[in-house]
Amino acid sequence: MPVLCQQSPVLAGSAALAALGLLVLYLAEPSGYGKHSETLMPAAIRLPARAAWFLQELPSFVVPAGILAGQPRSVFGPPATVLLGLFCAHYFHRTFVYSLLTRGRPFPVVFLFRGFVFCVGNGLLQSYYLVYCAEYPAEWYTDIRFSLGVFLFILGMGINIHSDYILRRLRKPGETTYRIPQGGLFTYVSGANFLGEIIEWIGYALATWSLPGLAFAFFSLCFLGQRAFHHHRFYLKMFEDYPKSRKALIPFIF
């Protein structure tokens, strides 16, 4: 029996994402993991970074991949399944590549739990909308919104992966020392990895032309933009020789 689209959970989920983004901006506090973990949550129970990132990101891949697996298969399927495939591609990398390569600090379990719940909810929202609600014309593949959106998504993912590579090279295995990142977009901004991911989700929102995609892009801008701001402030405080011309998130601007 086919699943019929219910607009209420789509609207509610999108509103919740946007509200979470606004809450992040309102609180204006650094997240209690990574650079800010020891200061904000010194007594928190922690897991090794690789295990924590794997468990946290896993639902964002498993949920949409499981839904996609039940759809008719073709080499170049309907636009909605291709777009959900982009979502899966990002989280495949985050789950099975990034998490196994990261050299980050141990991760507070409370933030792992929050991230896990978020990834389950967002994975369900994006998957449900694209598979059961989205309706795209046959010519959507040639629409400028799709073409530009996919270009931005791939560009942002490339920036994100390259920036993560630069950050990993700053540390030898087992080290947790901080150093000034150099090269790539780090020449211009402190949060090059965050900028890449924000560009990704803006591209995704454009290519899907959807309320859930827009809400997720807005949340990503708020959450990752806030992290970039706090990272930038952290670097300025820690390193006297930190490049003064480098901005937090947007080259030459912010």
| Angle, helix 211-238 to helix 192-208, in steps of 10 degrees | 170
The model carries a pTM of 0.93
The residues facing 47 across adjacent strands are 107
Residue 4 CB-density burial (10 A; 0-12 exposed, 13-18 middle, 19+ buried) = exposed
Q: How far is CA 129 from CA 62, 104, 122, 135, 253, in A?
A: 16, 34, 11, 10, 35
Instruction: Pick 143 or 41 by higher pLDDT.
Output: 143
User: pLDDT tens digits, residue range 158-184?
Assistant: 999 999 999 999 988 777 788 999 999
> What are the sequence ranges of the domains in the chain?
31-136, 137-253
247 SS3 class: strand
Instruction: Give the pLDDT confidence score for residue 192 in this predicted structure.
Output: 98
Cβ atoms 149, 140 nearer than 8 A = no
Cβ atoms 79, 137 nearer than 8 A = no
Instruction: Give the pLDDT confidence score for residue 105 in this predicted structure.
Output: 86
What are residue 81's phi and psi, to 5 degrees? Answer: -70, -35
Considering only CA atoms, give the Rg of the chain: 19
In 3D space, the residue among 157, 222, 221 whose CA is nearest the CA of residue 193 turns out to be: 157
Q: How far is CA 45 from CA 50, 95, 100, 227, in A?
A: 15, 22, 21, 22
Cβ atoms 201, 216 nearer than 8 A = yes
Residue 100 pLDDT greater than 90, yes or no: yes
Cβ-Cβ contacts under 8 Å for 174 (sequence gap 6 or more): 103
Q: What's the rounded mean pLDDT across residues 20-36?
A: 83
Cβ atoms 204, 217 nearer than 8 A = yes
The residues facing 108 across adjacent strands are 46
Least confident of 108-112, 208-212, 217-221: 108-112
Average predicted confidence (pLDDT) for the chain: 92
In 3D space, the residue among 21, 195, 164 whose CA is nearest the CA of residue 98 turns out to be: 164
Cβ atoms 232, 248 nearer than 8 A = yes
